[in-house]
Amino acid sequence: MRKTEKQPLPLPFPHAKIETFQANLLAWFASSHRKMPWRDKPSLYATVISEFMLQQTQFETARPYFERWITRWPDFASLAAATETEVVKSWEGLGYYNRARNLHKLATRIASMPAPPRTTTDWLSLPGVGNYTAAAITSIAFNEPAAVVDGNVIRVLARLTAQTHEFKDTTTAAKHLAPLAQKLLTRSTPGTHNQAMMELGALVCLRQKPRCLLCPVSQFCAATATDNPSNIPRFKPRPIKKLTQKRIWLLHNDKLLLHRHSPNARRLRNLYELPPAEHLLPNPAPETIIARKRRAISNQQIEETIYLATWTPPLETHIRTTPSLLWVPQPYQPTPTQKRPPPKMI
């Protein structure tokens, strides 16, 4: 860590004005917050599920998953009684599947306790719970005075203090800004304060073109005196990695060939996807390309190309001797002319 990141941040305004800052923030939140299903009927369980889902996922994407989840597994006990396969299947589409596995393990641990833990220290010992999640859960569910520092809060705090430092990444920025977040916390209502800070970052203090004229705390913000608050915070650029992946689409006897990741895989264990081409067709013919898909994960740009493969006896021999390759009943009915995978499959 650089020397500048170790120095505690001074308050961006006189201590006597903290209460006004908090009052403005909370009044704005009371009138302007978005309706969210986990806010309608708050409970520890709803808070935990929503916080796990929102770790890497936008609110609008997470909402229908949350609603289905709560209907199917309304509490820790019912979630603990589900199998990991069922839980991961319900997470399908949200990505970062370790969140689902950790949530299942966490439910199993809590269901076996006489009562759920109440402090951030105790929550930090549970699967999948880091500093942010522990602070969010305990402040919202138990009024624990623990400030959250997620990407939205980093942006607000960095702008309030007009940070000029170039942070290595969000983890470094969060560590640097955490003491300031704690100083500004409304200790009587820490859960509401934390949600207000995150909502301010999501709705007003936008990454590009922050709405400073509408901001309830603009009078405390040092970034408004700079040329462009959008330039804060600054992060070291990460080199973009370009990856290509060839996959095959092979149907035979109404079954689709899939590749199952190893039970020891770090991210995708036991999950299925179209087999990498190198398993079967080291040099697929370009004219058999049936789909292309581009996606970005973190600093990686991935281009996947799907090739149509034709069943042959030698391929079948290879498939039979490769345990990670298996035929599964295909989840849609093709027409005689349908050779392409439907978009949902890729």
For the annotated catalytic residues, the residue numbers are 51
User: Residue 46 interacts with ligand SF4 (CB under 6 A)?
Assistant: no
Q: Mark the segment that binds ligand SF4 (CB under 6 A) among 29-37, 132-140, 152-160, 314-322.
A: 152-160
Q: Which residue has the tokens 């007003």?
A: 204
Burial 323-335 (b: 16+ CB within 10 A, else e): eebbbeebeeeee
Closest separation in Å from C-beta 214 to ligand SF4: 8
Q: Mark the segment that binds ligand SF4 (CB under 6 A) among 103-111, 202-210, 268-276, 323-331.
A: 202-210
Q: Are 230 and 210 spatial neighbours (Cβ–Cβ below 8 Å)?
A: yes
Give the residue, chosen from 11, 44, 212, 346, that forms a contact with ligand SF4 under the rule CB under 6 A.
Answer: 212
User: Residue 204 interacts with ligand SF4 (CB under 6 A)?
Assistant: yes
Residue number, 11 or 44, with CB nearest to ligand SF4: 11
User: Residue 193 interacts with ligand SF4 (CB under 6 A)?
Assistant: no
Q: Mark the segment that binds ligand SF4 (CB under 6 A) among 22-30, 132-140, 155-163, 294-302.
A: 155-163
Residues 6+ apart with CB under 8 A from 150: 132, 174, 198, 201
Residues 6+ apart with CB under 8 A from 213: none
3-state secondary structure of 60: helix
User: Residue 221 interacts with ligand SF4 (CB under 6 A)?
Assistant: yes
If we measure between CA atoms, which residue out of 285, 168, 220 comes closest to residue 18?
220
What's CA 303's distance to the chain center, in Å? 22
Residue number, 34 or 241, with CB nearest to ligand SF4: 34
User: Residue 210 interacts with ligand SF4 (CB under 6 A)?
Assistant: yes
Give the residue, chosen from 62, 126, 156, 178, that forms a contact with ligand SF4 under the rule CB under 6 A.
Answer: 156
If we measure between CA atoms, which residue out of 124, 185, 130 comes closest to residue 153?
185
> By CB under 6 A, what part of segment 223-252 binds ligand SF4?
223-224, 229
Residue number, 210 or 275, with CB nearest to ligand SF4: 210
User: Residue 170 interacts with ligand SF4 (CB under 6 A)?
Assistant: no
Whole-Å CA distances, 105 to 76, 138, 184, 314: 10, 19, 34, 42
**Element at 300 (helix H, strand E):** strand 300-308
User: Residue 205 interacts with ligand SF4 (CB under 6 A)?
Assistant: yes
Closest separation in Å from C-beta 184 to ligand SF4: 12
Residue number, 27 or 240, with CB nearest to ligand SF4: 27
Residues 6+ apart with CB under 8 A from 188: none
Q: Mark the segment that binds ligand SF4 (CB under 6 A) among 9-17, 92-100, 133-141, 211-219.
A: 211-219
Report the C-alpha gap between 145 and 189 in whole angstroms.
8
Report the C-alpha gap between 241 and 204 in whole angstroms.
32
User: Residue 215 interacts with ligand SF4 (CB under 6 A)?
Assistant: yes
User: Residue 217 interacts with ligand SF4 (CB under 6 A)?
Assistant: yes
- Please give the size of the binding site for ligand SF4, defined by CB under 6 A: 15
Residue number, 21 or 76, with CB nearest to ligand SF4: 21
Beta bridge partners of 2: none
Interacting residues toward ligand SF4 by CB under 6 A: 156, 159-160, 204-205, 210-212, 215, 217-218, 221, 223-224, 229
